[in-house]
Amino acid sequence: MTSDTTATLAAELPTYTRWPLTIVRGSGSTVWDDSGKSYLDLYAGHAVAATGHCHPEVVRAISEQAKELLFYSNVVALPIRARAAAAIAAQAPAPLTKVFFVNSGTEANENAMRLARRATGRSDVISFEGGFHGRTADAISAAGLAKYRELGRPNVPGHRIVPFGDLAAADRALDANVAALLIEPIQSLAGVLTAPAGYLNGLRELCDRKGAKLIYDEVQTGFGRTGRFFYAGKDGVVPDLVTLAKGIGSGFPMGAVLVSEEIAAKVVPEEYGTTFGGGPLACAAAVATVAVIEKEALLANVVRGSRELVSGLSRLRGVREVRGEGFLLGIVLDRPARPVREALLAKGILVGGSDQSDVLRLLPPLILQAREIQTFLAAMAEVL
């Protein structure tokens, strides 16, 4: 870090334990620090740089939109907002047909819970041990990771937490006061935990039988990360609501709730709102992101790259297990993950940690190439 940078950073509230680098530039799956050193980025700014850093199509779309109209709120129609909603809804399974734009993942979850409460006339929400849904009041109260829930005290009443993967426990907890089940289909921060076979199907049946809504938090799994555009629809399970953020704008802040026809039909104007959600720059970024994912066949790239990563990593001494799907992978090590992450950083490779001290997380851009995967595997072999 240069002394100039250090002086400038001193005014920031110290909210994060920071990695020892200052990033100034990015392109594709590479970022550069303020001394000019390059890093292969398998973290993507926390699963955000879906199309890579500064994808030219995304940059062009944002710049062109900026020259036309920087902002107008939801009180008027914007062609670019309508296009973004149509582009996203076109990727979603029926009956998820409507989109409500917000600014972040936590806001998407707050609004999804409210939509479910108003649609059912019920108050409570079931979520799952290990889950993470954001840091605003209602979302943090749904955190299954207790340390976050505690940070959000006093919690919003009516949240019930059940074990992830235990259908009978969800059945017992789901009574006539429950409006919704809120679940990450793959629990990322918890250490990349996938649901047991048939579990999500079972939750869908429970919700149908007992009149509750199913919300998938796809803030991480959405927008191609698992090799499908959305996890919604996988194995025939379609939730009533899907929340999105992270990769949706390839780095431009945005969140969204995908809403079923049935719930959308109950929405009364003025009950939901946001000033900045669905702003033109974010919408331009989202339209470009969808287009790049399609044009560059990024879903296929994720499936192919994931196979290479999993098979390469599974052969390494020191790797106990590789969990997850697509480019949302957890590497379970036979040792603490942090020194491994730090040694990789020293070699110019960025990977993430998780809530489990022996699990590293990979959340790379969807554009990651075979040669970059080989660079990472070689570095990993040396470090381990």
Ligand X SMILES: Cc1ncc(COP(=O)(O)O)c(C=O)c1O
Active site residues: 132, 217, 246
Q: Determine which residue in the list 26, 28, 130, 134 makes contact with ligand X, applying CB under 6 A.
A: 134
Q: Is 184 in the site for ligand X (CB under 6 A)?
A: yes
Q: Is 220 in the site for ligand X (CB under 6 A)?
A: yes
| Cβ atoms of residues 100 and 260 within 8 Å | no
Distances (CA, A) of 69 to 91, 161, 254, 276, 279: 26, 44, 17, 14, 10
Q: Which is nearer to ligand X, 40 or 363 (CB)?
A: 363
Q: Which residue has the tokens 């992978």?
A: 329
Q: What minimum distance in Å lies between the beta carbon of 174 and ligand X?
A: 22
Q: Which residue is nearest to ligand X, using beta carbons? A: 105
- The contacts of residue 254 (CB under 8 Å, 6+ apart) are 101, 102, 103, 104, 245, 248, 277, 282, 283, 285, 286
Q: In what order do the strands lie in the sheet with 349-350?
A: 23-27, 30-33, 38-41, 349-350
Q: Which is nearer to ligand X, 33 or 217 (CB)?
A: 217
Residues within window 76-115 making contact with ligand X, judged by CB under 6 A: 104-106, 109
Q: Is 216 in the site for ligand X (CB under 6 A)?
A: no
Q: Is 226 in the site for ligand X (CB under 6 A)?
A: no
| Cβ atoms of residues 335 and 356 within 8 Å | no
Among 50-58, 216-224, 289-297, 334-342, the segment contacting ligand X (CB under 6 A): 216-224
Q: Which is nearer to ligand X, 45 or 348 (CB)?
A: 45
Q: Which is nearer to ligand X, 139 or 373 (CB)?
A: 139
In one-letter notation, the amino acid at residue 77 is A
Q: Closest Cα to residue 87, out of 275, 237, 229?
A: 229
Among 54-62, 132-140, 316-324, 327-335, the segment contacting ligand X (CB under 6 A): 132-140
Q: Determine which residue in the list 132, 148, 199, 376 makes contact with ligand X, applying CB under 6 A.
A: 132
Q: Determine which residue in the list 44, 84, 245, 290 makes contact with ligand X, applying CB under 6 A.
A: 245
- Contact set with ligand X (CB under 6 A): 104-106, 109, 132-134, 184, 188-189, 217, 219-220, 245
